[in-house]
Amino acid sequence: MGITDTDTAPHPIKDTANLSSFSDSFHIDDGLAVVSLPKKENVIPADNRTHAPKRFLSLTKRFHSDTDLRTMYENKMMNYILQHQVEVAPPSPSAAPNFYLPHHAVKKGRHTAVKWRNVFDASSHEPGSPLLNAFLEMGPKLLPEIRLVLLRFRIHKCAILGDVSQAFLQITLDPKDRDLTRFLWYRLVQNGQGSYDITDDVISYRFTRLPFGLTCSTFLLSATIRTLANMFHDTYPTASALMD
């Protein structure tokens, strides 16, 4: 059981193809990493536009009985919009594949440590139709084995931990794939004080950044970090070597 940074076993053919496709499509635009969603061949997700309103109605019913939940949810959605992590979706051509992500709130913790987060469901689908996650390739596992990480912690006296804030949302989603991440939410309008108010008008939004919860999200994040480490090896040789 050696302690190595990465698994030296060769990647299966499919994983090699996914890595090659990622390398071909990855690019930097205005200082931001841009990725495309890896898709399976001969699989097209069903247009679930008729199913999405049903899930959205279920969510709004929860809002009526829990005002604290509604306030939290509205604030998080407002942040997505104002930080340009999502955008109002344009009319989609009939031939373009699109998918609506139902969303809901998930509670973590108990008592005073309770935290809520918004979850977008890429596994939702119309009966008898493929879900979005079945349309996307998962990609190879690029994260190190947890047992190796724990063993490496025993080598030195001190360990340094780091975290990237909203890591997935730091990555730009290629415009041609954004219609696969549509969702329903209320329209915002700017008021006279310069802030925004939520209306009752339900419209379509879509992600401009990589959402968490897609089957390929973890692969795309890991591959992006490794690619950036290689790109900036000369500038940050010590940090870059840790990604090898």
Q: Quick one: pLDDT at residue 3?
A: 44
Place of tokens 């009966």: 127
pLDDT confidence tier of residue 10, bands split at 50, 70 and 90: low
Is residue 139 in some structural domain? yes
Q: Write the pLDDT tens digit of every residue in 192-244.
A: 888 899 999 999 999 999 999 999 999 999 999 999 999 999 999 988 887 76
Is residue 55 in some structural domain? yes
Q: Where are the alpha helices (DSSP H) in the chain?
A: 13-25, 52-65, 67-82, 132-135, 146-152, 217-231, 237-241
Q: What does pLDDT average to over the chain?
A: 87
Is residue 4 in some structural domain? no
Q: Quick one: pLDDT at residue 231?
A: 93
pLDDT confidence tier of residue 94, bands split at 50, 70 and 90: low
Phi, psi values for residue 202, rounded to 5°: -90, 125
Q: Quick one: pLDDT at residue 36?
A: 97
Cα dihedral value 122, 125, 131, 132, nearest 10: -40
Is residue 166 in some structural domain? yes
Over residues 163-190, the mean pLDDT reads 94
A 10 A CB-CB count for 214 gives 26
In this structure, of 43-47, 79-83, 142-146, 212-216, the range with the lowest mean pLDDT score is: 43-47
Which tokens is 14 given?
A: 């499919």
Q: Quick one: pLDDT at residue 75?
A: 94
**Structural domain tally of the chain?**
1
Asked whether the beta carbons of 243 and 226 are under 8 A apart, the reply is yes
Is residue 212 in some structural domain? yes
Is residue 3 in some structural domain? no
Over residues 59-67, the mean pLDDT reads 92
Cα radius of gyration (the chain): 20
Q: Quick one: pLDDT at residue 4?
A: 47
Over residues 81-106, the mean pLDDT reads 88
Is residue 1 in some structural domain? no
Residue 42 pLDDT > 50: yes
Q: Quick one: pLDDT at residue 153?
A: 83
Domain span at 102? 13-241
pLDDT confidence tier of residue 2, bands split at 50, 70 and 90: very low
Q: Quick one: pLDDT at residue 124?
A: 81
Of the chain, the percentage scoring pLDDT greater than 90 comes to 56
Is residue 111 in some structural domain? yes
Over residues 1-19, the mean pLDDT reads 63
Q: Write the pLDDT tens digit of every residue in 118-146.
A: 999 998 877 777 789 999 999 999 988 88
Predicted TM-score (pTM) of the model is: 0.87
Q: Quick one: pLDDT at residue 35?
A: 98
Q: Quick one: pLDDT at residue 212?
A: 93
Q: Quick one: pLDDT at residue 227?
A: 95
pLDDT confidence tier of residue 1, bands split at 50, 70 and 90: very low
